[in-house]
Structure 1
Amino acid sequence: MHVGDTNSALTLSEGGNLRIAGTYNGNAAGLTNLPQATPEVPGAVLKNTASLGPNGWWKCAQTGVIKQWGITLGAADDVNFRSFPIAFPNRCVSLVASRTSLFYSDVTSGTNTMIVSNAQFSVISGPFNSPDDIYWEATGY
C-alpha cells in the first residue's frame, strides 16, 4: 500500500515493514497503544538499562548480560556476605576484586572473593588487623 506523493509518502510492505518518507508534523499524543518492544518482536530495538553510581549495574537488553560493580570493606578475619546491587536472574559467572588503597608485600596480605549465589558474594582482605576497601566487579546473566 502506498499513500501520498514522493515528498510525503507512507509505505506499508509485506512482512510488516513500515517506511515513512517526508517530514512529520504534529505530536505523538495519540500513539498510546503501541506494543512494548520485546525479544519476540522481529526487529525490535530493546533499550539497555543501568543504575550508575559507586555500586551499580548495567544490563544489555539484547543478550541479558549484566555487569555489576562496587566498593566494599573487605572482611578482616571472617567470611562476610555482601549483596550484589541486583540479583543475577540465571548465574554469576565471574567475580574479581582488587584493593583500592595500600599495597602490602607481606605474604599474609591478600584479597579473596567467592561467588556465594546469584545474589551474594564474599570478600576477605588483609592484613587482617586492617582490612582495606575493595573494588569488585561481577559479570553474569
Structure 2
Amino acid sequence: MSNKNEFKAFSASQDANVVSQGEYEESRDLNTGIPPNIISIGLLNKVLRQSSIISSVVADFISTQCSDDVLDDGDIVKLTTQLNRALEQKITTEIPSASLAQEGIVQLTNMLGNSSRLAATQKLIQELADSFNDNLSNRVPSIRKVNGKELSEDIYLGAVDVGVYTPEQIDQKINIEVDRRIDTELDKKISTEVDKKINTKGNKNTAGKAVNGWWKCGDTGVIYQWGRTDVLQSGHVARIQLPISFSNMDYSVNINPIQSKIGSMGAVIGYVNVIDNSSFDLLNSWVNARWNSPFFWIAIGY
C-alpha cells in the first residue's frame, strides 16, 4: 500500500492557465504582491503553481524516505521531524561511513600513497610496521665493526675514536676564548670611559647667528638669546617667541626701546612677563606720552 501525500501540485498541466516565466519575472507584482481588486488569474495561478510544486516534491521525498503519510493538517512540528528523518535516511542508505569500494564520509585504502582523502586500514598499518622492523634489524649486520670494535656488544667511543677534542682540550680552548673576549670587552670599556672623560672637557660652543639669535656655552650650558621686535604700539602687548627653548622658566629678560624719546612729554617704558621656557610677553607702556617703538631684548638662562 503506497503512502499518502496530501500536498499536490497546482496548475501543473502544460495547458494550464498561467503567465509565461518571462512575464512572471517582469511583473511589477513580483516584489510588491498582487494589489487588491486587480487580480490576474494567470499570474495568481503561476504563484500557486511554483509554491505547490516545491511543496509536493518535498512531501514526496519525505513519504518515499520515511514510508510515512504526509498530511496537510497544519502540524508544522510533525512535518519538520519527518523531513529531518528523511534526510538522515537518505544519508545512511546512500553514503557509507567508510568503504574501499567507493567514496563515502571516510574512504579506506590498503595502498601507500600521498592522498589526503584516504584513511589507512589496519592491514596497511601492520604491513608498514613489519617492513620497518625488518629494515631496522637488517640495517647494520652484527659482523660489522666501528673503529675495529665489534657490534655484538655495547661499544665505547672516545674522543680519539671520533676525532673530537678531549674534555681537557675543550676546557683549554674555552679559557683562551673567554680570556680573549674579556680583554676585548675591557678595552672597549676603557676606551668608552676615556672618551667620556675627554668629551666632557672643551665641548664646542654653539650659536644661531641671526637678528633673533642665540649662543650656548658648551661647558656650562648657559644660553644667551637676543632679538628685536617690530614697532610695538603704546599700550599693546606682543608675545615674543625665543629662538630656542630654555630647560626651565628660570631665565631673565632685559629690554630696551630702540627709539626712546625722553623729554618733558615722557618716555617709552616696557615690561616683561615670562610665559614659559620658550616665550614671554612684552608690554609697551609709557609715561605722559603714547609713543610707538620697537624693542631690543636679551634673555639669559640655561
- Runs of 4+ that moved beyond 6 A: none
Instruction: Give the one of 223, 243, 247 matched to 1:66.
Output: 223
Tell me the amino acid that sits aligned with residue 109 of structure 1.
Answer: V
**1:101 partner SS:** coil
Higher strand share: 1
The corresponding residue for 2:276 is 117
Work out whether 1:80 is the aligned partner of 2:238: yes
What per-residue deviation string (whole Å, max 9, x for no partner) do you get for residues 61-98 of structure 1?
Answer: 11110000000033532323110011112334210000
TM-score normalized with structure 1 length: 0.63
Specify which of 111, 132, 139 is matched with residue 293 of structure 2.
132
Query: Residues 81 and 75 of structure 1: is their aligned pair in 2 closer, same or farther, counting only changes over 3 Å?
Result: farther
> Who is 1:41 aligned against?
196
> C-alpha separation between the residues in 2 aligned to 1:135 and 1:109?
13
Q: Which amino acid aligns with 1:55?
A: N
Whole-angstrom distance in 1 between the partners of 2:205 and 2:253: 22
Distance 1:48 1:81 in 2: 28
Query: What is the CA distance between 1:57 and its match in structure 2?
Result: 0.1
Identity over aligned residues, as a percent?
A: 29
Q: Which AA in structure 2 matches 1:132? A: S
TM-score with structure 2 setting the length: 0.31
Amino acid at match of 2:240: R
Distance in structure 1 (CA, Å) of the matches to 2:224 and 2:239: 19
Greater relative contact order, per chain length (Cα 8 Å cut-off, separation 6+): 1
- Match in the other structure for 1:51: 208
- Structure 1 position 101, deviation (Å): 1.3
Q: 1:24-49, CA deviations, whole angstroms, 9 ceiling, x for partnerless residues?
A: xxxxxxxxxxx8xxxx8113231111
> Structure 1 or 2: larger helix share?
2
Ranges in structure 2 where 5+ consecutive residues have no aligned partner = 1-189
* Counterpart contact for 1:92–1:139, Cα < 8 Å: no
Aligned partner letter, 2:208: S
Structure 1 position 107, deviation (Å): 4.3
| Aligned counterpart for 1:93 among listed residues 239, 248, 251 | 251
| Alpha-carbon distance between aligned partners in 1 of 2:268 and 2:215, rounded to the nearest angstrom | 32
How many angstroms does 1:103 deviate by? 2.0
> What SS class does the counterpart of residue 82 from structure 1 fall into?
strand
**SS in structure 2 opposite 1:41?**
helix
Code of the residue aligned with 1:78 in structure 2: it is H
Letter in 1 for 2:242: F
Task: Return closer, same or farther for 1:114/1:49 CA change in 2, 3 Å cut-off.
Answer: same
- Give SS of 2:229's match: strand
